[in-house]
């Protein structure tokens, strides 16, 4: 089925979700979702507000664990291993599955400390040189290095919104994750900062598998190769982005992406 499959990267499945259900107390938020997240691929989750796309995204690095009334059933495998298995440490998991949120949320610390925090607590750096190296590499990968290299010890909160978001991306990739989850990473940014983040997402795809939740269909169309459409907690349709935006199979997808009353 993958006729235009790129030969450059192996795009084997990184995360497999099967029969995933999420309950918030009595509310059945996610209903029997099956989806595959591929390596070196940007997967976009789209759908109206409250459709469950963010909830599902948060299952992928067990962010929902932090909510008491939240219950997740079904199977989510990363590289064939169940991420909800009792022996999996969620903190270790989150180092491998990084996350970037809607609003940039740098720590109230220096730019340097923001990026070095993760590698430090996960013991990824042997010494100061190592850490400097990780900080520089992460900031470069997040396309922020040039703008901040002379003021690494100034507070991260002093940066512009777009720079803060790229700082958060640098922070997320500093722990060398394999998957990067982005929950509406551009919704608080202007078009230029958005374009920079989108360019960055395309760049990040070379190393990571990226999952992005977005309300902007144009953004999903621009940055992703695979798109999944959620509606009322159900995964309605999943497939090549090009196909979803030109000729979706399901009428609900069609109505949503063309802006018709569903």
Partner 1 sequence: MEKTHIVSRFDKELKEIDKQLQHMAELVTQQLADATEALSEKDVKLAKRVRKGDRKINDLEDRIFELTTRLIALRQPMAEDLRSAITTFRVATDLERIGDYAKTISNRTSILAEEKPIKSATNTIKRMSIVVQAMLGEVMEAYAERDLGKAEHARLQDEDVDQMNSALFRELLTYMMENPRNIEASTHLLFIAKTFERAGDHITNIAEHVHYLVTGEQFENGETELE
Q: Site map for partner 1, 17-36, x if CB under 8 A?
A: --------------------
Q: Which two tokens stand for residue 90?
A: 């969620």
Residue number, 96 or 215, with CB nearest to partner 1: 215
Q: Per residue in 56-85, is it b (16+ CB within 10 Å) or e — as a string?
A: bbbbbbbbbeeeeebebebebbbeeeebbe
Q: Does 47 bind partner 1 (CB under 8 A)?
A: no
Q: Which of 16, 21, 105, 255 binds partner 1 (CB under 8 A)?
A: 255
Rounded to a whole number of angstroms, the minimum distance from the CB of residue 146 to partner 1 is 32
User: Interface residues for partner 1 in 214-233 (CB under 8 A)?
Assistant: 217-218, 221
What letter would DSSP give residue 47? -
**Minimum gap (Å) between residue 240 Cβ and partner 1:** 12
Residue range at the interface with partner 1 (CB under 8 A); choices 22-30, 197-205, 227-235, 244-252? 244-252
Question: Count of residues binding partner 1 (CB under 8 A)?
Answer: 18
The four Cα atoms 131, 136, 139, 141 give a dihedral, to 10 degrees, of -110
**Smallest separation (angstroms) from partner 1 to the CB of 237:** 11
Looking at beta carbons only, is 16 or 254 nearer to partner 1?
Answer: 254
258 binds partner 1 (CB under 8 A): yes
Instruction: Choose one: 5-13, 27-35, 130-138, 254-262; the region binding partner 1 (CB under 8 A).
Output: 254-262
Distance separating alpha carbons of residues 243 and 67, to the nearest angstrom: 36
Q: Looking at beta carbons only, is 128 or 260 nearer to partner 1?
A: 260
| Non-local CB neighbours of 14 within 8 Å, separated by 6+ positions | 37, 38, 39, 78, 79, 178, 179, 209
Stretch that binds partner 1, among 28-36, 120-128, 134-142, 248-256 (CB under 8 A): 248-256
Q: Counting Cβ atoms within 10 Å, is residue 198 exposed (0-12), middle (13-18) or buried (19+)?
A: middle
Please give the backbone phi and psi of residue 8, each rounded to the nearest 5 degrees, phi first: -65, -45
Ramachandran angles phi, psi of 97, nearest 5°: -115, 90
Q: What's the min distance (Å) between Cβ of 180 and partner 1?
A: 26
Told to check if 191 binds partner 1 by CB under 8 A, we report: no
Binding of residue 247 to partner 1 (CB under 8 A): yes
Residue 67's contacts (CB-CB under 8 Å, 6 or more residues apart) are 24
- Looking at beta carbons only, is 43 or 219 nearer to partner 1? 219
Q: What Rg, from alpha-carbon coordinates, does the chain have?
A: 18
Residue 10 region, left (φ>0) first, then alpha (ψ -120 to 50), else beta? beta
Query: Residue numbers of the site for partner 1 (CB under 8 A)?
Result: 217-218, 221, 243-248, 253-255, 257-262
């Amino acid at each position: 089925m993958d006729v235009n499959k790129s030969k450059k990267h192996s795009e084997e499945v990184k995360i497999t979700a099967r029969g995933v259900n999420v309950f918030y107390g009595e509310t059945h938020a996610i209903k029997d979702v099956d989806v595959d997240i591929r390596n070196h691929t940007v997967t976009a989750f789209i759908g109206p507000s409250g459709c469950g796309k963010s909830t599902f995204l948060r299952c992928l690095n067990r962010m929902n664990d932090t909510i008491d009334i939240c219950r997740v059933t079904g199977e989510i495998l990363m590289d064939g291993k169940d991420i909800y298995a009792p022996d999996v440490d969620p903190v270790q998991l989150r180092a491998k599955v990084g996350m970037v949120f809607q609003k940039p949320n740098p720590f109230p610390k220096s730019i340097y400390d923001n990026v070095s925090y993760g590698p430090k607590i996960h013991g990824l750096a042997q010494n100061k040189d190592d850490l400097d190296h990780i900080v520089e590499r992460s900031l470069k990968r997040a396309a922020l290095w040039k703008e901040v290299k002379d003021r690494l010890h100034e507070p991260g909160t002093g940066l512009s919104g777009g720079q803060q978001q790229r700082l958060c991306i640098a922070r997320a990739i500093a722990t060398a994750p394999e998957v990067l989850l982005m929950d509406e990473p551009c919704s608080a940014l202007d078009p230029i900062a958005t374009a920079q983040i989108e360019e960055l997402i395309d760049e990040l795809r070379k190393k990571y598998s990226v999952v992005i939740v977005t309300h902007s269909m144009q953004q999903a169309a621009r940055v992703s190769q695979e798109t999944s459409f959620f509606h009322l907690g159900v995964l309605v349709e999943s497939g090549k982005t090009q196909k979803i935006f030109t000729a979706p199979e399901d009428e609900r997808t069609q109505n949503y992406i063309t802006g018709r009353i569903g």
